[in-house]
């Protein structure tokens, strides 16, 4: 007996579904920092991500309209990724989270020194 609840329960739920996942936050953050990044560059930035995961994650972000994918029909291939306007709207939030994270990491360090 399966329940199909593909709809978000509320807007918090909705938003978390769009930026959850291991790499999405970081990809958006890098794209904000670098403005435009090619596939290979993203791959290096996200140390050790597999090509499958990178492609998959990028496609999800694209279909959620958070990033743009621009293909140049050249050989060797060239594909550029950048934030959409909607994606850019998430940056303040990611930045907030980043600062919060920094603070917590700092706190943890302090505590480990005490012990």
Partner DNA sequence: TATACTAGTATCTAAAAGCATACTATTGCT
Partner DNA sequence: AGCAATAGTATGCTTTTAGATACTAGTATA
Min separation Cβ 96 and DNA, Å: 21
Q: Is 9 in the site for DNA (CB under 7 A)?
A: no
The reply on whether position 1 binds DNA by CB under 7 A is yes
- CA 86 vs CA 12, 28, 70, 113: distances in Å: 16, 11, 17, 42
Residues that bind its own copies (CB under 8 A): 3, 5, 8-16, 18-22, 25-26, 29, 47-48, 86, 89-90, 92-94, 96-102, 104-105
């Amino acid at each position: 007996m399966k329940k199909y609840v593909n709809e978000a329960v509320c807007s918090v739920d909705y938003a978390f579904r769009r930026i959850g996942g291991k790499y999405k936050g970081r990809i958006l953050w890098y794209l904000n920092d670098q403005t435009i990044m090619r596939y290979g560059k993203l791959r290096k930035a996200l140390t050790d991500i597999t090509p499958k995961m990178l492609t998959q994650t990028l496609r999800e972000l694209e279909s959620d309209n958070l990033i743009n994918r621009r293909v140049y029909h050249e050989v060797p291939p060239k594909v550029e990724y950048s934030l959409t306007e909607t994606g850019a709207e998430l940056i303040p939030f990611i930045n907030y989270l980043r600062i919060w994270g920094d603070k917590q990491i700092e706190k943890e360090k302090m505590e480990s020194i005490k012990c």
